[in-house]
Amino acid sequence: MIDYSPHTKYTAQKIQDKVTRGAYFYSSFSIDNGIGSTTNIEKLINKLTIRYGLNLTSRQRNYRLKTGKPIADLIVQDVIYENRWQFILLITTPNSHKHSKQPDASNNRLEQTCKEKIFEVENMAFDKEGVHSEINLIHDYFKDEEPFQFVMNRPYLDLDFAGCSAELVRMTHKKYKSNSDKFYKTPSKPFSWTWRWKKEVVARKKTDLVNIINRYVSQSNKAKSIEDVVKWQSYFQTFAVFRGMRQQVGRLYTLGKLFLYSRGKQRWDDANLPTLKLYFAPRYETYAESYDEYCLRREIYINYDIELPRELAQNRNWFEIDNFLSRYT
């Protein structure tokens, strides 16, 4: 299966979905598409489609897994305004698919010894020999020597979110009190996959917030510092749409409130500073199902700052497309 991605949040959600269903092996690479580039992106996608069977139906994919064969997914993103294409190839083997559907009892010990409400699960699904065996199966079946990596090995699979790098990790679920009046569905597994920013990104954002608060306390004109707080929060309100990210940002926000009180003897709300509001990522709908449809929608967006409806991109009726664009230009 091929997923054409309009932006990084869509790419991240698709990766998370596929890894949750057992796509534990991946290869990630970028192709320069700037002036002077000789790579034909369409031919490359067609080549990968043939080699990895990316045009199989769901029934064919399930049959392959049942007969002991791996299946592949490809996520393609034309990274807007960067003149490069991002390719993420994900492979599911019969064993990784089976593991993704079963609860991992070995995590119970970690839950008992860790004091954190939500923490990273670091134990492996397969040992080193098992990982090599799975990769050999992939290489033998696809007749390819692509250097696939395992999603539970460090360094983790990562993506760039507007200059800040995030990684895909397994984290436990939040525990709720058993006497709560509310009903909470018990998850089948003690962990789920999510995205979180790397440590250096969190450290940089922490420093930025501390500096903003220092300026707010020391300067008589508060307007510029408040504007900086809004900008600091705006980034997270845009990109902190995954559970691991929201946990990190919540801690930074709490730290900022505590630092303001210790530095200026003011509470955040009493100072009427902006309130940080975070949101879940919506379930993104399919952006495009073919290379031509994808390129057309991207070109319209880049040149007109308008999202062309999918039905117009699929029909490719230029008279209807011109009529649509004329209403906004």
Locate the DSSP E strands across 24-63.
25-32
Instruction: Report the alpha-carbon distance of residue 43 to residue 52 in Å, rounded.
Output: 14
Task: Give the start-to-end residue ranges of the domains of the chain.
Answer: 2-197, 200-264, 291-326
For residue 117, pLDDT over 60 is answered with: no
If one compares 80 and 166, the residue with the highest pLDDT of the two is 166
Cα within 13 Å of Cα(243), Cβ side: 15
What residues are paired with 63 via a beta bridge?
none
Give the per-residue pLDDT at 126. Answer: 83
- pTM reported for the whole predicted model: 0.88
Give the per-residue pLDDT at 187. Answer: 60
The answer to whether 22 touches 92, Cβ cutoff 8 Å, is: yes
Interior/surface letters 125-144, b for 16+ CB within 10 angstroms, e for the rest = bbeeeebeebbebbeebbee
**Residue whose pair of structure tokens reads 């679920």 in the numeric block:** 173
Sign of the CA dihedral running 60, 48, 149, 83: negative
φ and ψ at 282, to 5 degrees? -70, 165
What tens digit of pLDDT does each residue of 14-40 get?
999 999 999 999 999 999 987 777 789
Place 114 in a pLDDT band, splitting at 50, 70 and 90: very low
